[in-house]
Amino acid sequence: MMKVLYLKDYPSFGDFDQACFRNILAELTVDSPTIVEVGSWLGSGSTQILIEHVKRFRGRLHCVDTWEGSSSVPEHAELLATYDVYESFWENVRRAGGADRVEAHRMPSTIAAACFADRSVDMVFIDADHAYDCVRADILAWRRKVRLGGILCGHDCETRVTEANRDLLWKARNGDHIPGGPLFRDWHPGVILAVDEVFGGAARLWAEKGVTLPDGRHGPGTLWDLTST
Ligand SMILES: C[S@@+](CC[C@H](N)C(=O)[O-])C[C@H]1O[C@@H](n2cnc3c(N)ncnc32)[C@H](O)[C@@H]1O
């Protein structure tokens, strides 16, 4: 039988990103929100924070994932060879007390998007395959599912596209990450380019805004977000 990987073994969402995400969620003030997470993997990172929110506000969290890993991330295949990732996801959801608030959609992201009516979702969080074509397709498929005034956001956008970094990012767009700049060890070129292409400068980058942790440390995060208009 395949092993199950529990919460403590695989922290995938750092302190600053957790704080950014809580700040973004604080702006989602509706009761019984419908939230979609595109890319949940073990359910041990962003999923945990979303579960906190749907428990508190009696909402529903839809987790969309193939649970087959991203082709651009070799570590995903290694983990899949050893662990039952889908069962690990559910174990981590249960341990967070979210089993009755979470629904899993085990299918490719753009197919899952077709199951949701336009403007029917309060928040979509995108964190699936980070290759440029995939992020772009995810943003385009999911942005219209968000209701007016709702939130579209995502992970791993460490910087803006500039004349100085455009070529570097473009050459690396089909991979997961490259060595980053002064603020972050890694950059995710596909995310950075897709966010820039679809939204221009309209998306807020928490790399620029920064966030303060409960212990007083201040620093940048890698989330991006914008309000649907
Ligand atoms: C970066 S991980 C998600 C991490 C998670 N948000 C966290 O904080 O721990 C990316 C996930 O996207 C999923 N994925 C990759 N391509 C996908 C696709 N086309 N449709 C749905 N899920 C996909 C992978 O299976 C993997 O679980």
| Rounded Cα gap, residues 126 and 80, in angstroms | 21
Mutating to test ligand 1, I would choose from 84, 107, 109 the residue with most ligand atoms within 8 A of its C-beta, which is 109
Query: Both tokens of residue 81?
Result: 């060879």
- For residue 1, is pLDDT > 90? no
CATH number of the domain located at residue range(s) 15-227 in this protein: 3.40.50.150
| Rounded Cα gap, residues 59 and 92, in angstroms | 18
Task: Give the predicted TM-score (pTM) of the model.
Answer: 0.97
Mutating to test ligand 1, I would choose from 24, 105, 127, 176 the residue with most ligand atoms within 8 A of its C-beta, which is 127
Over pLDDT 90: what percentage of the chain?
90
The rounded mean pLDDT for the chain is 95
Tokens 């990103």 appear where?
Answer: 17
Q: How large is the average pLDDT for residues 200-228?
A: 96
Ligand 1 centroid vs 20 CA: distance in angstroms? 20
If we measure between CA atoms, which residue out of 225, 220, 158 comes closest to residue 190?
A: 158
User: Cα separations (Å) of 29 from 67, 131, 154, 228?
Assistant: 30, 32, 19, 15
pLDDT value of residue 13? 86
Q: Provide the 8-state DSSP code for 62.
A: E
Give domain limits for the chain: 15-227
